[in-house]
Amino acid sequence: MSSAHIDTFARDNLPPIDQQPQFLFDLPELQFPEQLNCATELLDRHILEGNGSRICIRAPGLSWTYADLQDKANRIANVLVYDMGVVPGNRVLLHAPNNAMMVACWFAVIKVGAIAVATMPLLRAKELKPVIDKAQIRHALCDFHLATEVQSAAQQCPTLQTVRYFNDDSANGLDAAMARHSPVFANANTASDDTCIIAFTSGTTGIPKATMHFHRDVMAVCACWPPHVLRATSEDVFMGSPPLAFTFGLGGLVLFPLSVGASTVLLEKAGPPQLLEAIQTFGATVLFTAPTSYRAMAPQGQALRNGTLRHCVSAGEALPVSTRTLWREATGIELIDGIGATELLHIFISADEEHAHPGATGKVVPGYQAQVVDDDGKPVPVGTVGKLAVRGPTGCRYLADERQTKYVRNGWNLTGDAYKMDADGYFIYQARTDDMIVSSGYNIAAPEVEEALMLHPAVAECAVIGSPDEERGQIVQAFVALRAGHASDDAMVKTLQDFVKSTIAPYKYPRAITFVNQLPRTQTGKLQRFMLRDLA
Ligand code: 3UK
């Protein structure tokens, strides 16, 4: 294998081999050649196979074929190399909402053998700085509409030298530079184990961690979950809400549709109302979004019944049974739940519609192995709660980070989730390991209490934490957003407490209930429990 990287930063900062997970390549579809550029496989291949005129990307007012995307990506690749001086192995910051130029820039970076570092569009200069510093970024491609934050970050980041803006009409914008360059580009002959993306974790606490993924990792996630669980075809129309900077979005909205020659619809704003409308106007068939978004759309879900939509994927957070039921009753569609992680790039435990067990995430995805282990890393018996351990073709490689030894133990990736497995091999989510509540010696999983509360018709959204208590160590405290028309008074507190007691073991009921208008969430839709702990 020969690396194409002239700038060896990524390879130099890989975790030592004995701290890396064990990688598995048992499946025949996971045999990768020594030299591999994932842009060739995901994009150029379709043009070579005569499918250049098929629709690749749609967005409001935009429709690009595979040939159009290749044309743009090649021009940008030429700008990167000849105007900006990017060499293979350099990191390139990408900062944009989910739009077509963002995807063209992503492919351009991969084509030149550089490393794409995509960031959430809502990040401010203060949050971009640690990313630029950590990945030692010299070059950036950015949507003109987000220029202010990138400019202000650039002033504080000595490494960042060249920034080009797209969706900008001016003479020095990326679009003008593209017009001066050729639409032909010979992709860098990268090694399958050259890093091509650095994804920052959307962690709800602490300093962000940078995970490194190779060209072969990108192809591996396309070969595992999509063909075995999603089973999309070239006729499918993908759509969803997760940002492309979040690997849930990168996979669901770029890698997976392109790996089967399908089309993807990109929405810069993809809240529940925008999604509902766009599904119908674009005829989406495959949807990727978070549990809360399904819950918010369910009341209008009837409009999607007997429409184009056929596969709905939920990930990012545990899927409450009540949300699964609401969505099925409204739309007639059973959700595909799947747990993924930035460290593993995409989903590794999931179930298709036919095999869904409400309350369970699913079974391990072909290509991966999963087990529930105790604190010493030994597998626990069926039905026992422990830590989720996973290994497969992808896994955790933090960039220069001592937390590597916490995530990877004995070759297994420890995701930080408490799970149990049943006799049929279904994995049942309990909580993040740090979110188990211990009250008077009882272990209580916050999501179980949330689930019970959400079954009450007055509850729109809720979150449960353990708050410190002198007598009991911790007590179960719930934060509840009520649906319109319900009073947030003492009578409602009592009603909800009694309701939980009648639904699950009474000792788990929330001793404290606080009413809120809305719950604090990250840009990837995850609940920020630490914010609630501060509130409590
Ligand atoms: C939690 C889930 C229960 C779990 C992600 C799909 O979420 C993704 O990556 P992150 O790094 O977070 C990972 C953590 O999120 N989680 C995700 N999905 C589920 N918990 N059920 C689920 N279905 O705590 C996990 O450890 O932000 C999801 C694809 C790619 C991703 N990066």
| pLDDT one-digit tens code per residue, 156-202 | 999 999 999 999 988 889 999 999 999 999 999 999 999 999 999 86
339 C-alpha to ligand 1 centroid (Å) = 5
For 331, the enclosing helix (H) or strand (E) is: helix 321-331
417 C-alpha to ligand 1 centroid (Å) = 9
Q: Transcribe 126-155 into DSSP letters.
A: HHHHHHHHHTT--EEEEEGGGHHHHHHHHH
pTM: 0.94
C-alpha to C-alpha distance for 162 and 137, rounded to whole angstroms:
10
CATH of domain 436-535: 3.30.300.30
- Count of CA atoms in the C-beta half-sphere (13 A) of 504: 20
- 256's tokens: 């997976």
Q: Is 524 in the pocket of ligand 1 (CB under 6 A)?
A: yes
Give pLDDT tens digits for 19-72: 999 999 999 999 999 999 999 999 999 999 999 999 999 999 999 999 999 999
The residue whose CA is least distant from atom 21 of ligand 1 is: 318
For 10, the enclosing helix (H) or strand (E) is: helix 9-12
In degrees and rounded to multiples of 5, residue 28 shows phi and psi of -60, -30
Fold of 37-189: Rossmann fold (3.40.50)
The residue whose CA is least distant from atom 9 of ligand 1 is: 341
Give residue 142's pLDDT.
Answer: 98
Question: Which mutation among 294, 317, 363, 435 tests ligand 1's pocket best, with the greatest number of atoms within 8 A of CB?
Answer: 317
239 C-alpha to ligand 1 centroid (Å) = 19
Give the SS3 label for residue 349: strand
Determine the angle formed by the axes of helices 66-78 and 100-111, rounding to 10 degrees: 60
Give residue 529's pLDDT.
Answer: 86
Residue 204 has pLDDT above 90, yes or no: no
201 C-alpha to ligand 1 centroid (Å) = 10
Virtual torsion, Cα 95, 100, 106, 110, nearest 10 deg? -170
H helix intervals, 205-286: 215-223, 225, 247-250, 256-259, 272-282
Q: Which long-range contacts (CB under 8 A, 24 or more apart) does 273-278 make?
A: 275/239, 275/240, 275/241, 276/300, 276/303, 276/304, 278/239
Q: Is 121 in the pocket of ligand 1 (CB under 6 A)?
A: no
Q: Which of 310, 414, 352, 301 is nearest to 19 (CA)?
A: 414
Sheet holding 210-214, edge to edge: 162-166, 139-143, 91-95, 115-119, 195-200, 210-214
In degrees and rounded to multiples of 5, residue 403 shows phi and psi of -70, -5
Question: Which mutation among 254, 324, 342 tests ligand 1's pocket best, with the greatest number of atoms within 8 A of CB?
Answer: 342
Asked whether the CA dihedral 58, 111, 286, 121 is positive or negative, the reply is negative
In degrees and rounded to multiples of 5, residue 375 shows phi and psi of -65, -20
Q: Is 444 in the pocket of ligand 1 (CB under 6 A)?
A: no
Q: What is the mean pLDDT of residues 88-104?
A: 98
- Return all residues near 53 (Cβ < 8 A) that are at least 6 apart: 65, 66, 67
C-alpha to C-alpha distance for 499 and 484, rounded to whole angstroms:
19
Give pLDDT tens digits for 485-508: 999 999 999 999 999 999 898 989
The residue whose CA is least distant from atom 8 of ligand 1 is: 341
Q: What is the mean pLDDT of residues 217-240?
A: 98
Position 440 confidence tier, pLDDT thresholds 50, 70, 90: confident
Q: Is 365 in the pocket of ligand 1 (CB under 6 A)?
A: no
Q: Is 346 in the pocket of ligand 1 (CB under 6 A)?
A: yes
C-alpha to C-alpha distance for 453 and 471, rounded to whole angstroms:
25
Residue 525 has pLDDT above 90, yes or no: no
Question: Which mutation among 246, 292, 339 tests ligand 1's pocket best, with the greatest number of atoms within 8 A of CB?
Answer: 339
Q: Is 323 in the pocket of ligand 1 (CB under 6 A)?
A: no
Q: Is 339 in the pocket of ligand 1 (CB under 6 A)?
A: yes
Give residue 205's pLDDT.
Answer: 59
Give pLDDT tens digits for 329-383: 999 999 999 999 999 999 999 999 999 999 999 999 999 999 999 999 999 999 9
Give residue 443's pLDDT.
Answer: 85
Q: Where are the domains of the chain?
A: 37-189, 436-535
369 C-alpha to ligand 1 centroid (Å) = 17
The residue whose CA is least distant from atom 26 of ligand 1 is: 415
The residues with which 289 forms a beta bridge, in sequence order, are: 314
Q: Is 350 in the pocket of ligand 1 (CB under 6 A)?
A: no
Q: Is 317 in the pocket of ligand 1 (CB under 6 A)?
A: yes
Measured from the Cβ of residue 89, the count of other Cβ atoms closer than 10 Å reads 23
For 530, the enclosing helix (H) or strand (E) is: helix 529-535
Q: Which of 77, 74, 122, 72 is nearest to 96 (CA)?
A: 122
Residue 535 has pLDDT above 90, yes or no: no
Q: Transcribe 163-223 into DSSP letters.
A: EEEES--STTSHHHHHHTS-S-------BTTSEEEEEE---SSSS--EEEEEHHHHHHHHH
Q: What is the mean pLDDT of residues 264-271?
A: 97
Weakest-pLDDT range from 123-132, 290-299, 420-429, 527-536: 527-536
Give residue 523's pLDDT.
Answer: 80
Q: What is the mean pLDDT of residues 118-132?
A: 93
350 C-alpha to ligand 1 centroid (Å) = 11
106 C-alpha to ligand 1 centroid (Å) = 23
C-alpha to C-alpha distance for 303 and 278, rounded to whole angstroms:
12
- Return all residues near 227 (Cβ < 8 A) that are at least 6 apart: 29
- Count of CA atoms in the C-beta half-sphere (13 A) of 469: 18
Measured from the Cβ of residue 384, the count of other Cβ atoms closer than 10 Å reads 11
343 C-alpha to ligand 1 centroid (Å) = 10
Maximum distance among all Cα pairs of the chain, rounded to whole angstroms:
72
Q: What is the mean pLDDT of the chain?
A: 95
Give residue 206's pLDDT.
Answer: 63
Q: Is 7 in the pocket of ligand 1 (CB under 6 A)?
A: no
Q: Which of 75, 69, 104, 74 is nearest to 181 (CA)?
A: 75
315 C-alpha to ligand 1 centroid (Å) = 6
The residue whose CA is least distant from atom 12 of ligand 1 is: 341
The residue whose CA is least distant from atom 15 of ligand 1 is: 316
Residue 115 has pLDDT above 90, yes or no: yes
348 C-alpha to ligand 1 centroid (Å) = 10
81 C-alpha to ligand 1 centroid (Å) = 35
Strand 195-200, strand 210-214: pairing: antiparallel
Give pLDDT tens digits for 289-314: 999 999 999 999 999 999 999 999 99
The residue whose CA is least distant from atom 28 of ligand 1 is: 340
